[in-house]
Structure 1
Amino acid sequence: MINMNKILLHVEGLAILLLSLYGYFYFGFSWIWFFILLLSPDIFMLGYLINNKVGSMVYNFIHTLSVAILIFLIGIFLSNSIFLAAGLILSSHIGMDRMFGYGLKYPTHFKDTHLNRV
């Protein structure tokens, strides 16, 4: 049976990724830095070394679009290209994660995500 909600969330992730890539291209930022930093938000998995609750809180904080948008908006208001690029790289990472089915984590287990429970 096809879970249409899950499919829509994956497509939404793809849309976020494509929009973020377009923004990155539009502003003319370095693609070398993009590929170097694309997976850097996953360093926040280190919170799981403490326990699942802390790990999920730290991981989810950085993997939330509102944080990426806030960083991007700071870049807009301050005319700061580092914040602009960082916000776009983070939103690209989040979009890529959602597209591949990696969602926000529940404190029960690392593999227990909001996309798995849809």
Structure 2
Amino acid sequence: MSLPRWMDASLRIEWGCVALALVAAFWAIGGSWLLFAALVLAPDLFMLGYLARPRMGAIAYNLVHILIGPFVLGCVALITDSAIAKQITLIWAFHIAVDRALGYGLKLPTSFQDTHLGRIGRG
């Protein structure tokens, strides 16, 4: 089941705004843009789990494409006042926000194209 067009557009705009806010926060803390460039696509490396089988790929991919990870790391970053942890938190959350803004959802165990937001490439 796919979302109504207005709802899909609304969610994409919302996540795009989140992504922009995360970039602004990264800039505000004086984050390293070299680090940003090096890590922004790192969560996608977990799609290599699909080489084993779709179920394993979905589990691996989803583990790093939910906001729980950046939330926990962000808490650690605030408690320890770690500049690097703060930067990684914002980069990681930015990656997730951009994925959602582009319509990429969490993967279902059936196929890489099947997500909680519908099938990738549905039109």
Same fold (TM over 0.5): yes
> Residue 67 of structure 1: CA displacement?
1.2
Given that residues 52 and 108 in structure 1 are in contact (C-alpha distance below 8 angstroms), is that contact kept between their aligned partners in structure 2? yes
Please identify, of 60-69 and 2-11, the stretch whose mean Cα deviation from structure 2 is larger: 2-11
Alpha-carbon distance in structure 1 between the residues aligned to 2:73 and 2:9? 28
Q: Which residue is equivalent to 1:75?
A: 77
Q: Which residue is equivalent to 2:56?
A: 54
Identity percentage of aligned residues: 36
Instruction: Choose from 32, 35, 51 the match for 2:34.
Output: 32
Alpha-carbon distance in structure 2 between the residues aligned to 1:37 and 1:91? 11
1:2-39 superposed Cα distances (whole Å, 9 cap, x missing partner): 52221222122212211211110110011111112111
Could you say which structure has the higher helix fraction? 1
Q: Which residue is equivalent to 1:22?
A: 24
1:68-97 superposed Cα distances (whole Å, 9 cap, x missing partner): 121111101111111111110001101111
Could you say which structure has the higher strand fraction? 2
Task: In structure 2, list runs of 5 or more residues that go unmatched.
Answer: none
Q: Which residue is equivalent to 1:85?
A: 87
Q: Which residue is equivalent to 1:102?
A: 104
Residues paired across the two proteins, number: 117
Does 2:43 match 1:41? yes
Task: In structure 1, list runs of 5 or more residues that go unmatched.
Answer: none
Given that residues 72 and 85 in structure 1 are in contact (C-alpha distance below 8 angstroms), is that contact kept between their aligned partners in structure 2? no
Could you say what the CA RMSD is over the residues aligned between the two structures, in angstroms? 1.6
Alpha-carbon distance in structure 2 between the residues aligned to 1:102 and 1:5? 15
Alpha-carbon distance in structure 2 between the residues aligned to 1:59 and 1:12? 22
Alpha-carbon distance in structure 2 between the residues aligned to 1:66 and 1:49? 25
